[in-house]
Structure 1
């Protein structure tokens, strides 16, 4: 198949994805919004951006479709959509692209100048413009993204400077997006030419362990070389790092900054440096175990994001001389027989001892996601009302799986038949799942922080939960929560609130989860594949309460930031809203909710092994736990929390109650440790 034919097929898939997204939200007339949402997600998956929020604005000579501001207000991304949605991979004229960049640039200039001052405060565009205005003294770099599903003919767009802020332009057309998606890497690799960073290319010590699939180079780089890399590529340097730069909030980052500013000559002694992976190095071998590093392909900092970001910020904000810093670097070149996706995460996990690392961040292959994928390929959903045909909910563990599976059907008829079984509006991604589960876990403030932060927090919870394997019942109830969330989105869209739909939905459903003690009948939702009329009507009522609460933050603070705060949820959770009798009648009993396995989110589910452990701990007599707590206090052999838990387990046993899963897990370890230390109870 030629590239032209592949582009057209890709354009059709993109068109259908957007239509399905728009129809699912009951916003068929606002496909531009759905297009922007879809393209932002592609840019996130391509590691071009951290996140993004859709927000449409149009004024005289100005347009903007969405935005993202980094937590430290240092970097701003603005998006403008130029959709075709014709599935034809048609050409977008150069003049149209240039006009789009001019309008986006004009919007930026006006926003920096106080555009929000003439807007209604309850609108999301006010929030966007005010946030940009408030960040005007902190911004160092703005990226303007023009995104289109047409094929552009623009080769070069000059960067500019607006009120002292460096502004770069990024054009993402159909061809660039297709190449990013179809490359397998799902991103554009970074190539570093070391001579272009200023100074001489670094000389390195080279080691090549036999049969390892890699070779290592040890060297040092001056701080100004890292500054230039970060200036050019920003967070893209950190795609395989386990987290983004932590914005100087932790003690580690503050310590790095203090050393950079006050004792730059000590930086080499105090800092562990960077661990880097690359898939292709150009070397000048000196024959003595050393070589000069000329260039590196697919250059990625897998450990040292804090160091890199801190140096760049100190150079940008504190005007330090970065060339005074010497930074130790270990570069691991993944050779042709090595697996970069396997080796890079393990390097990061092993090398990182500055901040806590969770391997959940490298999670497409996590057993939880693999099991969800298996279940989604085998479980049939009941037919919707008035229909006879059953379908499946397709769980996309890795980006692009849906389209890959669709493409395996060769004829148009086969593809249509496959899509009838796996409709696009029943596609669930990992970030979707995190949003649904965290909402039901009553964490709407986490959901409001954006898809990526919500997903990472979800995976962190999953890791802390320990071994968990979804079963068929859990999968069905998980999809029921997806149906609940998606139909709530439709309900909120119909209210025409003028923005903040995502926040309103998650807060409304979190309130429902809390005040019903998670007793909504998820089995009934799965069985009918829709909400009951009384439940839909009550969600509409809740949405008005949530909108009123979210858009009236105390102290006139930013609405978006207010929705991200736990205090916002704490206050809304206490709202007294009468639950209609029709809803009460639909709820399952408290006894059924408490004893039904797989009833709720995964932290509530107990495996067979965990149930056996709970039984063993429950069989320990109450007096034994009390004696253990007293013995530990007298001998000072256990930690205070262990003594406290031992006493609590004794109280549970004396009242005939069973310990929780976590209490049992810790209790058994405490008992074993006490025995090993001499306890004879």
Structure 2
């Protein structure tokens, strides 16, 4: 059965309640932050999104986002009902919310408005920046977005754009149904359609996928990007590098001086879609869920040339390879393969393919296998659920009976759920890069990608059970600090996320200064920091909070100051007097011994798992593999002999080494495009 909207709403609300309780947030704050994270994932918001609350005289603004490339300002408000029953938001409530957002913008158009606000608050920073954007005419479009846990009325099908300060203003309601559609599309950004007129040729049409070669004009590409922005690049492994590298300078020069040669000089765009509509003239008339998986730089370069440099792109033509994958379950693997093999215009390191990192597979396996310690007299054994794909937690419950779903929730409680985005933020904070964490999830993910890539390059067995437990312990620590700050008397309802990141980083820094390693087992065993550690964290957090909320010369905005490496360098020198007790530390020698022991255990587990995999597969798989390697014979005779013996039955049960050889051949074939139809 499929998850219904009502079931999704119930699960969504429970997740909000759990998140609020575990982090010490108001439920409205947890709702707002969770929805904005969803919108960043789907490309509806950029990485510049900022939480900033302004509530006064019926005006309620919760944050803003500024798309620098498209010069689009998004102002956010919310209507949170926090009702277990699914509510419907009335048109009058929508109109009132949008009227108040417009009123706030009108206030920002007055250069004296932000000066009346407390300088250290996020509202001051938000108002100052918006006032500056308006004064410098750097806003091409304004989006007013209302977030709600209700659903809109059926009569609310279209909201007409308006003009404010001679700027187009769009209105949009992100309701529970939109979030439901995001969930159903499994992070594809939701269904969206692109009307177009593309001459094309159908090249491939089989049971796996359908592919077209098309030509798209520069003006059409600009219009599509102008409308959808980052939603087009959600599955792309690369972000735009600006006109700094030789490749991008070449793109710009071609656009400016030889636009008619762009088609010949440029590699073009590789894209995917879920559906296309072909007209009677054989042209593509509509594309559903267009995703540019290779060619993000080309698209952004053409857009920047048109919008920023005012160059004419009407004579620019771009070749596009557009593929439709038949099975939606295959789309992620298809996209990752295309990205890996097609991204050659600028070097893309293996760390850019973070979504394919073995870390995800390992963490998913450990999250299902490793039991959390029973605490507080509880007789239940629970797991920490690793959500590799957004919505996976709910999706795993989709086909369960009521009794089975209840059992699932007992085994995997919502407060023990974490995803790769949050994991990256926590790990980067412990890596003593709180300035990076303060810049946002994307920056944290990039740093963590490189870290994981380096670790696995040195040792493919590095992601052990102990690594998983340590990572979960850091997550427990991070959430504990969030709650500690939220409930502190000195907390002023702003800059909590920055204070948390810097508190974690400073603890990590002071631990490193002792010459020992932190004993994460002390957190794992209790599923919470000890009272000794709690006192240390409270002391660090209060001192750091006081520091970052005190205006610095030239950095009146604490959130911007926290993004600077200089801020971290100064915080490391703060005279905060505390000692880290021995119970929180372990010797490096002990840590090294534990790591070696873990790797030995893992190696044995992997050997057994590989044997199990090989002997449980259909015999025909290995016979097909022999045919494959006979056609493209690029393996040794020894490898072929072992594979042939096992496939023909003369080798009844392979040893660990033999199974490893067979397994490696299987993976080699898969990476080369081998497909086995059982």
User: TM bucket by the smaller chain?
Assistant: 0.7 to 0.9
1:505 and 2:503 are equivalent in the alignment: no
Q: Secondary structure, in 3 states, of the residue corresponding to 1:192?
A: strand
* Greater RCO, CA 8 A, separation 6+: 2
Contact kept in structure 2, 1:213 and 1:337, CA below 8 Å: no
Change (3 A) 1:160 1:8: same
Query: Residue in 1 aligned with 2:101?
Result: 104
Please report how far the alpha carbon of residue 571 of structure 1 lies from its aligned counterpart in structure 2 after TM superposition.
Answer: 2.6
1:258 and 1:497 mapped to 2: Cα distance? Answer: 51
Q: Deviations over 1:529-574 (max 9, x none)?
A: 1112222122122113322333334423543232223232223223
Please report how far the alpha carbon of residue 122 of structure 1 lies from its aligned counterpart in structure 2 after TM superposition.
Answer: 1.4
Q: Secondary structure, in 3 states, of the residue corresponding to 2:575?
A: coil
Q: Deviations over 1:34-55 (max 9, x none)?
A: 1101111222333333344432
Q: Secondary structure, in 3 states, of the residue corresponding to 1:555?
A: coil
Query: Residue in 2 aligned with 1:663?
Result: none
Runs of 4+ in 1 over 6 A off after TM superposition: 209-212, 604-609
Contact kept in structure 2, 1:14 and 1:87, CA below 8 Å: no
Q: Deviations over 1:150-180 (max 9, x none)?
A: 1111211122333344332221112222122
1:335 and 1:380 mapped to 2: Cα distance? Answer: 38
Query: Residue in 2 aligned with 1:91?
Result: 88
Equivalent of residue 447 in structure 1, options 419, 427, 437: 437
1:244 and 2:239 are equivalent in the alignment: yes
Q: Identify the range of structure 1 (300-309 vs 464-473) with the bigger mean alpha-carbon deviation.
A: 464-473
Contact kept in structure 1, 2:69 and 2:304, CA below 8 Å: no
1:499 and 1:595 mapped to 2: Cα distance? Answer: 40
Q: CA RMSD in A?
A: 3.1
2:577 and 2:590 mapped to 1: Cα distance? Answer: 21
Q: Secondary structure, in 3 states, of the residue corresponding to 1:50?
A: coil
1:39 and 2:35 are equivalent in the alignment: yes
Number of equivalenced pairs? 588
Q: Deviations over 1:212-260 (max 9, x none)?
A: 63323142x2221112111221211222221333454555444434443
1:423 and 2:423 are equivalent in the alignment: no
Q: Identify the range of structure 1 (425-434 vs 445-454) with the bigger mean alpha-carbon deviation.
A: 445-454
Equivalent of residue 193 in structure 1, options 183, 192, 195: 195
Query: Residue in 1 aligned with 2:464?
Result: 471
1:344 and 1:257 mapped to 2: Cα distance? Answer: 27
1:31 and 1:470 mapped to 2: Cα distance? Answer: 35
1:370 and 2:372 are equivalent in the alignment: no
Q: Deviations over 1:50-93 (max 9, x none)?
A: 34443221123522112233455833333211111212112111
1:92 and 1:211 mapped to 2: Cα distance? Answer: 44
Please report how far the alpha carbon of residue 263 of structure 1 lies from its aligned counterpart in structure 2 after TM superposition.
Answer: 4.8
Query: Residue in 2 aligned with 1:460?
Result: 450
1:261 and 1:544 mapped to 2: Cα distance? Answer: 55
1:301 and 2:298 are equivalent in the alignment: no
Query: Residue in 2 aligned with 1:144?
Result: 144
Change (3 A) 1:135 1:546: farther
1:238 and 1:279 mapped to 2: Cα distance? Answer: 15
Q: Deviations over 1:339-373 (max 9, x none)?
A: 33222222233222233334655545532112111
1:432 and 2:428 are equivalent in the alignment: no
2:187 and 2:554 mapped to 1: Cα distance? Answer: 46
Query: Residue in 2 aligned with 1:573?
Result: 572
Change (3 A) 1:392 1:331: closer
1:207 and 2:207 are equivalent in the alignment: no
Query: Residue in 2 aligned with 1:225?
Result: 220
What stretches of structure 2 of length at least 5 have no aligned partner?
605-678
2:357 and 2:205 mapped to 1: Cα distance? Answer: 29
Q: Secondary structure, in 3 states, of the residue corresponding to 1:237?
A: helix
Change (3 A) 1:457 1:74: farther
Query: Residue in 1 aligned with 2:13?
Result: 15
1:564 and 1:14 mapped to 2: Cα distance? Answer: 31
The TM-score, its normalising length taken from structure 2, stands at 0.79
